[in-house]
Amino acid sequence: MTMNQNPPVYTGDIVKQDIDPSREYTAENQEIVFNDEQHAIWADLFAGIHQPYLLEHLCREYINGLAMLQLDPKRIPTVKHLNVQIQTRTGWRIERTAVRYTLADDWYAKFAQRIFLITDYLRTRDQMEFTPEPDMFHDIFGHLPFLTQDFYAKIEDKFAPAYMKATEEEREVIKHLAWYSTEFGLVMENNRIKVFGAGIISGRSELTHTIMEFYRLGRDNVIDYSRDVFAQLQSHFLANKKDIHRIIAGVNEMHRQGKMSSEEQGWNVVRALYDKLGIPRTGIFGGDVILVPFDVETIALIPKTVYAFNPMFFVCETLEQMDSLLDSYLKPIASRK
């Protein structure tokens, strides 16, 4: 099968696709023949992030998983290779899909079968720093190193049982919780903030902006890294919660207007939002992203900003804490009769 060469242009909403369901998830759809340029894009994306000065900011679980996944830096892996590395370790299986992105129902139905989907779409040369939607590099390089490990498989196992029993309103919260944990989550490690989310890891622009925020917090004396960093984040969050929620309301409105669909629009409109709201760009608001402790109530207010830059990332004190916080919302729903 040859990969689609003409991906649709983002308009602000999830793109409608006409896909023959009889060909979806078939053997024909799994192993794609990639051309030299596609392999070259993969190689440049891989090399752009696989740099010591970036890798040192990724959590140890990702680094361990990347070694176990045994990706070829120069060539896009086959589905067979991915399954050999993952299925024997955690029982999860990989399938390729022609669906670019959905309203999540298809994804969660597959999650319930312990199947993780990867797309057949690879970003183009003009999207090397930022892609407006999840592509196969994001799926493979960002998520799959984690899926070699039981702790991550168990986190992914939480979402589908709850999603299948949730109301429509609850489903939106579940999507937000997945987005701001496995996609754009951060975690403390040895009193340092480390990147956990696949969306940050696989996007060089978002990764570098996030790392720059780690340093800015120290430079501007917002965080004293010789003291308990998470406690300081918690203190700043509680002191500024009202303005944080005002910013979220403003981001929601901009997202509805389709104003956050590109790198230039994304961060620039957020900067302008602070001015509009009269919030000084100092303290935790002085960077390109806001880092706050993982808080289910606050996460539930934010749209699942597909295709958009995320102006706020959530930090868990430990992965065990992330597990517990997710359970606090998901378990009661999943246990319904």
So what's the pLDDT on residue 106?
76
Angle between helices 168-178 and 150-165 (to 10 degrees): 160
Say if residue 26's pLDDT is above 70: no
Separation of alpha carbons 289 and 284, rounded Å: 9
Say if residue 236's pLDDT is above 90: yes
Geometric angle at alpha carbon 145, from 140 and 149, rounded to 5°? 135
| Average pLDDT score, the chain | 87
So what's the pLDDT on residue 314?
96
Domains of the chain listed by start with CATH number:
27-169 (1.10.800.10), 171-334 (no CATH)
Q: What is the pLDDT of residues 258-303, one digit of tens each?
A: 666 555 555 566 778 888 999 999 999 998 889 999 999 999 888 6
Q: State the average pLDDT over residues 227-247.
A: 96
Contact between 38 and 74 (Cβ < 8 Å): no
So what's the pLDDT on residue 12?
42
Angle between helices 150-165 and 319-334 (to 10 degrees): 30
Q: State the average pLDDT over residues 32-53.
A: 95
Q: What is the pLDDT of residues 143-168, one digit of tens each?
A: 999 999 999 999 999 999 999 999 99
Q: What is the pTM of this model?
A: 0.88
Q: How confident is the model at residue 9 (pLDDT cuts 50, 70, 90)?
A: very low
